């Protein structure tokens, strides 16, 4: 994710000056969080309400702008109204299929099939995997027989439709005059193929592509993404490559030192002076490091640094939770960013709406919220908009989150096909979650709290830190074997991704990065294993 200031300004300008209605634009991001941030801030620059304006994720684009509208036209009516399985449902169906087929269940097999599907692997690559092909075929058959889609099949079907139907390509090009793709280095081949079909083919009136990416920040190769797609895209004759050389975020010292991780020596001009990176050796392994971070954060807050200008980027979610606890013990408020399985553009919107209506967050008011909803739910009619305003105005502290979600769901379902589809695909998972977990997110206040970052130290993983920025960043667990993780050390590509992730972490800071290590790690039985400082810190020439 990228702080969307530059992207949203570009999009707003293009929509007002360059893209004549009814044509529109698709702005595609990797994560819901990035898309939601872009969508909420976009409204401050542009009131554009055309229905051909898509701001969302890769999967959202494939599902809502390709499969739902065009599957029937492409001769796949069973796909058009297929139900999208949530991750856990898909995993259960996978396990059940394997049992029926008599194939031993093995997490490695699931990961292999996931990765190969995401990579759009060739028949030859599949044939090298033994039972993976049989398992895949049986599972895909079950999906088809039951009119179901999983996350990978959304992309697979969208690619098939776009690649085999010239009329669908024509319609998509007409709808989306421009396509903006962020974090191109972390794209799996599916969207790359769709983008090339729409933007780089020799067919008439291609869409214009605006892609942003940085191969040094590629971190998802293990899921089947491939940063070489970006390099290859940039080398196409019809593509103009613009290399950005100025780092507007990090102080010069951070910008310069962090580049030492890369052998190419590509210079980075820093627009901001100063900056520092400090390495602290702390007793007590990650617990001791978390306590030390809490002390340092408390000092910063005492010296009037706002807690939300401080980011704590951890190797794992587990570590992030433990670190947040240590900060909590010192009386510091934290905001722990964790992905929820049911998260989508509309659930993110609902959380922010609750925050605004309860007066807990600085929001742009009901008008902006409803305009934003109209971008998430295309063709939302005026009467339903009015009823949604009424629903928002009824929000008050203590109200049941489940009731509010259910009321919104019912309103959308009554509002015609497009809205009903969004309700079923994107809001129903939250409703199911609330129904099956009555102890969590009981009130609208708790729903709102998921987005209340102001005044809280932001605690998350190195990967989820992508696109964020802080004045001060802390990275614990910088012992070799943890960062980089020992299992990636003998695999060149995995090691590169570990390095990139570390680079992402360093470059989130404007003023100062603090790296912590202990000189040993502890295992589950609390036994100590001595280890040197992270090889990346050695590469930075800081130890
Ligand atoms: N031309 C500019 N002048 C001043 N500030 C800028 C300019 N371009 C970007 N910035 C600021 O620099 C910061 C980083 O910008 P942006 O997020 O667009 O970069 P990025 O390359 O996507 O970063 P990353 O991929 O590392 O997250 C933001 O705070 C942004 O507002």
Residues with CB under 6 A from ligand 1: 2-3, 5-6, 214, 217, 248-249, 467, 469, 507
At residue 2, the pLDDT reads: 42
pLDDT at 507 over 50: yes
Please give the distance, rounded to the nearest whole angstrom, from the Cα atom of residue 9 to the centre of ligand 1.
Answer: 12
Q: pTM for this structure?
A: 0.92
Q: How much distance in Å is there from the Cα of 370 to the middle of ligand 1?
A: 29
Residue 3 has pLDDT above 60, yes or no: no
Q: Is the pLDDT of residue 131 over 90?
A: no
What pLDDT, on a 0 to 100 scale, did the predictor assign at position 458? Answer: 96
pLDDT of residue 4 exceeding 70? no
- φ, ψ for residue 2, nearest 5 deg: -130, 140
Mean model confidence pLDDT for the chain? 92
- Tens of pLDDT along 476-498? 999 999 999 999 999 999 999 99
- H, E, C per residue of 255-277: HHHHHHHCCCCCCCEEEECCCEE
* Best residue for ligand 1 mutational test, from 1, 4, 5 (most atoms within 8 Å of Cβ): 5
Which residue's CA is minimally distant from atom 20 of ligand 1?
A: 2
How does pLDDT run across 86-119, given as a tens digit for each residue? Answer: 888 999 999 999 999 999 888 889 999 999 999 9
Residues 6+ apart with CB under 8 A from 13: none
The two tokens of residue 422 are 């969004």
* Residue of minimum CA distance from atom 5 in ligand 1: 248
In this prediction, residue 417 has a pLDDT band, given cuts at 50, 70 and 90, of confident
**What pLDDT is attached to residue 5?**
67
Q: What is the ipTM of this complex?
A: 0.95
- Report which protein residue has its CA nearest ligand 1's atom 6: 248
In this structure, which residue's CA is closest to atom 31 in ligand 1? 5
Dihedral of the CA atoms 410, 415, 418, 424 (nearest 10)? Answer: 10
372-389 mean pLDDT: 90
Average pLDDT over residues 45-59: 84
CA of 202 to the centre of ligand 1 (A): 34
Check residue 21 and give its pLDDT.
79
pLDDT at position 190 over 50: yes
What is the 327 CA–ligand 1 centroid distance (Å)?
29
When pLDDT is cut at 50, 70 and 90, the band that residue 38 belongs to is confident
User: Over the stretch 318-338, which tens digit does the pLDDT of each residue have?
Assistant: 999 999 999 999 999 999 987
pLDDT of res. 331: 94
Q: Name the token pair of 400.
A: 């049941």
Closest CA to ligand 1's atom 18: 6
SS3 222: helix
Q: Nearest Cα to 421, choosing from 88, 81, 138, 130?
A: 81
Q: State the pLDDT confidence band at 191, using cuts at 50, 70 and 90.
A: very high
Q: Which atom of ligand 1 is nearest to the CA of 217?
A: 25
Question: What average pLDDT does range 53-76 have in this prediction?
Answer: 93
- pLDDT higher than threshold 60 for residue 186: yes
State in Å: Cα 98 to ligand 1 middle.
47
Q: Which atom of ligand 1 is nearest to the CA of 507?
A: 26
Mean pLDDT of the region 50-57: 87
């Amino acid at each position: 994710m990228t702080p969307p200031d530059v992207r949203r300004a570009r999009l707003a300008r293009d929509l007002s000056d360059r893209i004549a209605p009814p044509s529109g634009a698709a702005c595609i991001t990797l994560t819901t969080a990035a898309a939601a941030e872009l969508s909420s801030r976009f409204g401050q620059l542009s009131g554009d309400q055309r229905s051909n304006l898509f701001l969302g994720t890769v999967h959202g684009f494939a599902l809502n702008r390709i499969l739902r509208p065009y599957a029937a036209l492409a001769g796949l009516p069973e796909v058009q109204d297929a139900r999208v399985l949530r991750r856990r449902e898909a995993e259960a169906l996978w396990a059940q299929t394997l049992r029926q087929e008599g194939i031993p269940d093995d997490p490695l097999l699931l990961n292999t099939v996931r990765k190969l599907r995401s990579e759009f692997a060739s028949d030859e690559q599949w044939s090298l995997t033994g039972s993976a092909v049989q398992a895949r075929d049986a599972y895909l058959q079950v999906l088809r027989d039951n009119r179901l889609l999983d996350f990978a099949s959304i992309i697979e079907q969208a690619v098939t439709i776009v690649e085999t139907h010239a009329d669908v390509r024509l319609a998509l090009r007409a709808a989306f005059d421009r396509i903006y793709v962020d974090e191109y280095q972390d794209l799996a081949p599916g969207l790359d193929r769709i983008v090339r079909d729409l933007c780089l083919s020799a067919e008439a009136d291609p869409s214009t592509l605006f892609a942003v990416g940085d191969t040094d920040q590629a971190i998802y190769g293990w899921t089947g993404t491939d940063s070489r797609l970006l390099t290859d895209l940039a080398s196409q004759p019809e593509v103009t490559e613009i290399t950005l050389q100025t780092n507007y975020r990090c102080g010069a010292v951070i910008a310069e030192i962090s580049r030492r991780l890369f052998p190419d020596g590509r210079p980075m001009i820093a627009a901001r002076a100063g900056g520092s990176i400090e390495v602290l050796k702390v007793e007590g392994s990650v617990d001791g490091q978390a306590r030390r971070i809490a002390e340092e954060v408390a000092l910063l807050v005492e010296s009037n640094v706002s807690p939300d200008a401080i980011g704590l980027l951890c190797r794992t979610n587990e570590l992030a939770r433990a670190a947040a606890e240590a900060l909590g013990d010192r009386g510091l408020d934290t905001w722990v960013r964790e992905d929820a399985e049911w998260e989508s553009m509309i659930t993110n919107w609902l959380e922010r709406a609750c925050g605004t209506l309860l007066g807990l967050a600085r929001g742009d008011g009901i008008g902006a919220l409803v305009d934003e909803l109209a971008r998430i739910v295309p063709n939302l009619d005026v009467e339903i908009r009015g009823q949604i305003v009424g629903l928002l105005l009824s929000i008050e502290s203590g109200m049941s989150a489940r009731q509010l979600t259910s009321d919104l769901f019912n309103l959308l379902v009554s509002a015609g096909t497009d809205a009903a589809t969004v309700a079923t695909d994107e809001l129903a998972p939250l409703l199911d979650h609330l129904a099956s977990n009555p102890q969590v997110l009981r009130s609208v206040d708790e729903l709102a709290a998921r987005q209340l970052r102001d005044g809280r130290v932001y605690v998350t993983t190195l990967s989820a830190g992508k696109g964020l920025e802080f004045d001060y960043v802390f990275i614990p667990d910088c012992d070799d074997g943890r960062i980089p993780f020992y299992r990636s050390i003998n695999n060149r590509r995995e090691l590169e991704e570990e390095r990139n992730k570390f680079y992402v972490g360093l470059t989130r800071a404007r003023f100062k990065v603090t790296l912590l290590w202990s000189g040993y790690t502890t295992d589950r039985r609390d036994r100590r294993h001595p280890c040197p400082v992270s090889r990346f810190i050695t590469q930075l020439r800081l130890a």
